[in-house]
């Protein structure tokens, strides 16, 4: 019988952490990390109570992602942005076993239990759920929860991959891609990564400029994965109570042209030559 994992230690914050020093600390510690799926993840659960979304920041996010500007409900992906600084605090800490530099966001699943008014106060909580072997390295799962009082109103699970050599050959089962009908073509400007970074706080250098992106092996800056899924969901529409799943398949180079495709609850983002950047699905609870 596997040993029971220790209880998480809850740490209550008084404000959202600043991202810049967290990214810097994660960058400094990254060369000393040796990814191992058997390593123990952090057992800390970070909690930020009494959080109210900033209207100006929310408006900037809605604009860059294509959500309605005057909506009185949070976009379905926005709680991820609220929780991102807490996730970065956990993943940049000394007890996080994966290198922050080069970590790839591979998937996200979201459950919105009901509408989340933009003017309400919420309690936000983030923890690392565990590590798992992946055919391309080691994957960490990060869980974000949004509560109104004692009610869980929104939750997500994101997976992040640290790529390294591994003997593990299995991977998540991937369903056969069914070609979806094209709906719209989007031309993405070269500064999209900087604009989304300003709205979300995620200023990872791979998204900001061709020169900094080349340091990590990309020929040009790439769009944020969370921008691609947010833009698709803004076009698709999401019920108040819904489940969303998305898998990030390949980077979107900036500037560039992509095609949004959808049919029923399924959606995808394609590039030239039939390349698939993103696949996803929306369904009611």
Distance of CA 139 to the CA centre of its chain: 14
**Residue 164 predicted with pLDDT over 80:** no
For residue 163, give the H/E element and its range.
strand 151-163
Matching residue, tokens 């740490």: 11
**Measured distance CA(58)–CA(55) in Å, rounded:** 5
Angle between helices 55-65 and 192-200 (to 10 degrees): 150
- 5-43 residue pLDDT tens: 567 899 999 999 998 899 889 989 998 888 888 888 899
pLDDT of 16: 95
Reference 200, options 54, 24, 15; nearest CA is 54
- 40-93 residue pLDDT tens: 889 999 999 999 999 999 999 999 999 998 789 999 999 999 999 999 999 999
27 prior amide bond cis, ω within 30: no
**Measured distance CA(247)–CA(255) in Å, rounded:** 22
pTM: 0.91
**Measured distance CA(192)–CA(230) in Å, rounded:** 13
Distance of CA 74 to the CA centre of its chain: 16
């Amino acid at each position: 019988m596997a040993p029971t994992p220790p209880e998480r230690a809850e740490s209550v914050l008084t404000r959202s952490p600043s991202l810049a020093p967290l990214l810097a600390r994660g960058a400094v510690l990254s060369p000393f990390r040796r990814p191992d799926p058997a390593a123990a993840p952090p057992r800390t659960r970070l909690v930020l109570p009494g959080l109210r979304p900033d209207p100006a920041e929310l408006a900037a996010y809605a604009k860059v992602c294509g959500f309605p500007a005057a909506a009185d409900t949070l976009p379905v992906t926005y709680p991820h942005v609220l929780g991102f600084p807490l996730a970065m605090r956990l993943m940049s800490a000394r007890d996080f076993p994966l290198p922050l530099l080069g970590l790839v966001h591979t998937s996200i699943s979201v459950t919105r239990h009901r509408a989340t008014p933009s003017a309400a106060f919420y309690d936000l909580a983030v923890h690392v759920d565990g590590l798992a072997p992946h055919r391309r390295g080691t994957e960490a799962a990060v869980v974000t929860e949004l509560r109104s009082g004692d009610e869980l109103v929104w939750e997500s699970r994101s997976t992040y991959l640290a790529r390294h050599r591994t003997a593990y050959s299995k991977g998540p089962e991937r369903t056969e891609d069914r070609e979806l009908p094209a709906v719209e073509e989007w031309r993405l400007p070269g500064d999209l990564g900087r604009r989304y970074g300003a709205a979300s706080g995620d200023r990872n250098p791979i998204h900001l400029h061709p020169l900094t992106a080349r340091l990590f092996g990309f020929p040009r800056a790439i769009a944020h994965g969370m921008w691609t899924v947010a833009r698709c969901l803004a076009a698709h529409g999401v019920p108040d109570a819904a489940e969303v799943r998305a898998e990030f398949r390949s980077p979107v180079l900036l500037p560039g042209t992509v095609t949004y495709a959808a049919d029923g609850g399924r959606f995808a983002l394609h590039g030239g030559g039939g390349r698939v950047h993103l696949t996803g699905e929306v369904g009611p609870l």
